[in-house]
Every structure is written in C-alpha cells, then in structure tokens.
Amino acid sequence: MPSAPPSLAHALTRLWNRLRATVAPVPDISATLWLQTLGRYPFLAALPLHDQAKLRALSALFLQHKEFTGAHGLVVTDAMAVAIAAQACLPLLHFGEPRQALAWYDDFVGIVVQPGDAVARRRAVDEAGVVHDYTEVLMGEAMERGPVMLSWQAVSEAGHSAARGANVVVHEFVHKLDMRNGSADGYPPLPPGFLGATSARAAREAWRAAWAPAYEAFRERVIVAERFGGEPPWLDAYGATAPAEFFAVACEAYFVNRARFGQEFPALLSVLDAFFRRTE
C-alpha cells in the first residue's frame, strides 16, 4: 500500500493535534494505522481533512468503550478494529463533540466479528398461526440493546462495494440509531426543529412524507425487476423488505457513494443531510 505524501501526513497530524486540544483527552490511533485505514476505504479518504481528524477522534473513543470478539477463532487485530470503528462512527461525524456523539451507541458494548457470513436460525408464525423454522444468511446484525455482529469478509470488501452503495458497518450502526426509539422501524429520533418542524409530531410527519413514497416506489421497482425481468435498482433490493431496512440501505449508499445516491434519490438527500447534520 503506498504511503501518504509527507505533506498530507503533516496536515493530518496538525489537524489531529488541534482537535485533541479542543476536546476532553481522548486515546490515540497512530498516524500510520489511521492512514492505512484511509487507504483501504476511499470513501473515508475522500472526507475533508478536518472531518478526517474528527472521525479519528470519534473512532479512538469508540475503541475505548467497545469490546471486540472474534468468532470461530478469528483474531481481531488493531487494524480490523480501527476499520470497523471508523465506519461505525461515520454517521456520528456531525453529532457534536465525540463523547456527546457516541452517546447514540451507549446501549451496547460488544461487537462480534465473524470471519464470513453467519447463518442464523429463525422462527416465524404466519397469519394462520403456523410456525415456520428457517435459516438466514447474514453479513451483519444489530440487536436491540444488544451487540452488533459483522462479517469481516464484508467489512474488508467495503472499499470495493462502495461503488454499488453497500456498507455493512454503516447499515448495522444506522439500525442502532433507529433503535433509539425502540425496535427499528425506519423512524429514528429526530432533532428539534427538523426540517423546520415546530413539534416532534410535525417532524415525524415531515420524515414520513419523504420516506413513505420513496419506499413504496422502491418496492415497486424491486417487484418489477424480480417478477417481470425489469431493470434491477441500483440500491440493494434488501431495502424493499421493510421500512427499517430501506432506511439502513439508503444510509449505506448516502455515506459511501453520495453522488450516485443523490442521482437515485434526490428527495431523500436533503432529508438525510438534515438528519446527519451535514451543512457543507
């Protein structure tokens, strides 16, 4: 992997030291390890330098407060942990100072890293009361007030999968944001004055007015593609399974391929900018 130019490394170090001086003391991520992470994930390297420094501070605190466990003999290295932390903290980048932002993730500690996709046993009861047992292959899973599971294979491929708007870490940690209201339903807690709303109810209605039609239109595209051979949508078809999944899948694309996401969902771009407090 090519090393960063000396001027870039110097600029990053200067910004990092400046940020550390403006917030409570935070642990460090070495410049070498941080630059290696940026090199593996171009959507992180594309952030403005000041945002890279903020993300580094967030990631360092995240690592201080979370516990990583490798499944099936997998050893979670420092590089793996930093890669996950940086992508997990990306949605929190503009949520205030690091400790305030990370409060969104204070309902869990554990992160389980699987070598590859996991197979989960499921049980569902249909409308007739019949119980169905089945298995589901998962790249990740976020449990309400519980740990997050991730496939390292999927995480490690995130630099390449960004072209199709896919990122398993963002997906699962956005579910965690959604779960701050309870079970994930695609309606995360909204900040006061969201989109000019004067009440929490008005804010939720503004959110619904943007997301409900986008979800229904996306579901229709997926149905046409799967049943009638229509052109598959760019966004992962898994988003058509539920509003919560559509929200998470949309956020994946928003963070790792903003330009293409804006072309596909221009009405949602400003809504996500408002939610994630992006102003530039």
pLDDT tens-digit map of 44-88: 999 999 999 999 999 999 999 999 999 999 999 999 999 999 999
Q: What is the pLDDT of residue 7?
A: 63
Q: What is the pLDDT of residue 17?
A: 61
Angstrom distance (rounded) from CA 84 to CA 88: 6
Q: Which residues pair with 112 in a beta bridge?
A: 69, 149
In terms of pLDDT, which residue wins out, 201 or 123? 201
DSSP 114: E
Which has the closest alpha carbon to 255: 33, 92, 29, 50? 92
In terms of pLDDT, which residue wins out, 156 or 129? 156
Q: What is the pLDDT of residue 2?
A: 40
Whether the per-residue pLDDT at 215 is higher than 80: the answer is: yes
User: Residue 125 has which token pair?
Assistant: 């009861």
What is the value of pTM for the model shown? Answer: 0.86
Chain position carrying tokens 């992470």: 37
Q: Look at phi and psi of residue 124 and say left if phi exceeds 0, alpha if psi is from -120 to 50, else beta.
A: beta
In terms of pLDDT, which residue wins out, 9 or 4? 9
Angstrom distance (rounded) from CA 120 to CA 99: 34
| Polymer length of the chain | 280
Task: Say which residues have a Cβ less than 8 Å from residue 146's Cβ, sequence separation at least 6.
Answer: 108, 110
Summarize pLDDT for 237-247 with one digit per residue, the tens. 999 999 999 99
**Confidence tier at 116 by pLDDT (50, 70, 90):** confident
Whether the per-residue pLDDT at 5 is higher than 60: the answer is: no
**Confidence tier at 24 by pLDDT (50, 70, 90):** very low
Q: Look at phi and psi of residue 23 and say left if phi exceeds 0, alpha if psi is from -120 to 50, else beta.
A: beta
Whether the per-residue pLDDT at 129 is higher than 90: the answer is: no
Whole-number percent of the chain with pLDDT over 70: 82
Average pLDDT over residues 186-204: 93
**Confidence tier at 142 by pLDDT (50, 70, 90):** very high
Q: What is the pLDDT of residue 22?
A: 52
Q: Look at phi and psi of residue 241 and say left if phi exceeds 0, alpha if psi is from -120 to 50, else beta.
A: alpha
Q: What is the pLDDT of residue 135?
A: 57
Angle formed by the axes of helices 6-22 and 49-65, to 10°? 60
Domain 185-280 fold is: Collagenase (Catalytic Domain) (3.40.390)
Chain position carrying tokens 């490690």: 156
Alpha helices for 123-167 (secondary structure H): 152-156, 158-161
CA distances from 116 to 46, 154, 157, 258 (A): 27, 7, 11, 27
Whether the per-residue pLDDT at 6 is higher than 60: the answer is: no
Task: Say which residues have a Cβ less than 8 Å from residue 213's Cβ, sequence separation at least 6.
Answer: none
Q: What residue ranges do the domains of the chain occupy?
A: 185-280
In terms of pLDDT, which residue wins out, 17 or 174? 174
Helix (H) or strand (E) holding 125: strand 118-125
Least confident of 10-24, 31-45, 110-124, 174-188: 10-24
In terms of pLDDT, which residue wins out, 27 or 2? 27
Angstrom distance (rounded) from CA 214 to CA 12: 39
Average pLDDT over residues 190-211: 93
**Confidence tier at 179 by pLDDT (50, 70, 90):** very high
∠ CA 240-233-94 to the nearest 5 degrees? 70
| Mean pLDDT score across all residues of the chain | 89
Angstrom distance (rounded) from CA 218 to CA 148: 27
Q: What is the pLDDT of residue 1?
A: 40
